[in-house]
Amino acid sequence: MVRKAIIPAAGYGTRSLPITRVIPKEMFPIHHKPSIQYVVEEAVSAGIEQILMIVSRSKNMIIDYFDESLELEMYLQKANKLHLLSKVKRPDVQILYTRQPFAGGLGQAIRLGQHFIGNDPFAVLLPDDLVIGEGIKELIDVYQEEHGSVIGLKEVEEEQLKNYGVIDGDPIRNDLFSIKGVVEKPQENPPSRHAIIGRYVFTPEIMAALEKVQPDRGGEIQLTAGIQELLAAQPCYGKVISGQRFDVASEKDYIDLQLQMYRQHADHQGK
Ligand code: UTP
Distance CA 194, CA 165 (A): 9
CB 212 within 8 A of CB 180: no
DSSP E strand boundaries for 32-74: 33-34, 50-55
Structural domain count of the chain: 1
Distance CA 107, CA 165 (A): 13
The conformation of residue 164, written as its DSSP 8-state character, comes to: S
Share of residues in the chain with pLDDT > 70 (%)? 100
Ligand 1 centre to CA of 245 (Å) is 17
- The CATH number for 239's domain is 3.90.550.10
Instruction: List the residue whose alpha carbon is closest to atom 16 of ligand 1.
Output: 8
Instruction: List the residue whose alpha carbon is closest to atom 9 of ligand 1.
Output: 13
CB 132 within 8 A of CB 15: no
Strand, helix or coil at 267?
A: helix
Kindly state if the Cβ of 77 falls inside 6 Å of ligand 1.
Answer: no
The conformation of residue 205, written as its DSSP 8-state character, comes to: T
* Residue of 6, 12, 51, 164 to mutate, ligand 1, most atoms within 8 A of C-beta: 12
Q: What angle do CA 95, 79, 77 make, to 5 degrees?
A: 40
pLDDT in tens, 69-128: 889 999 999 999 999 998 888 898 999 999 999 999 999 999 999 999 999 999 999 999
pLDDT in tens, 203-212: 999 999 999 9
Pairing relationship of beta strands 122-125 and 176-184 according to DSSP bridges:
unpaired
Which atom of ligand 1 is closest in space to residue 128's alpha carbon? 21
Q: CA gyration radius for the chain?
A: 19
- Measured on CA atoms in the order 111, 115, 116, 118, is the torsion positive or negative? positive
What domain range includes position 221?
Answer: 4-270
Please state the separation of Cα 46 from the chain's center in Å: 13
Kindly state if the Cβ of 181 falls inside 6 Å of ligand 1.
Answer: no
pLDDT in tens, 57-68: 999 999 999 998
pLDDT, position 130 = 96
Which residues lie below 8 Å from residue 270, measured CB to CB, with a gap of 6+? none
Ligand 1 centre to CA of 78 (Å) is 41
- Measured on CA atoms in the order 231, 236, 238, 241, is the torsion positive or negative? negative
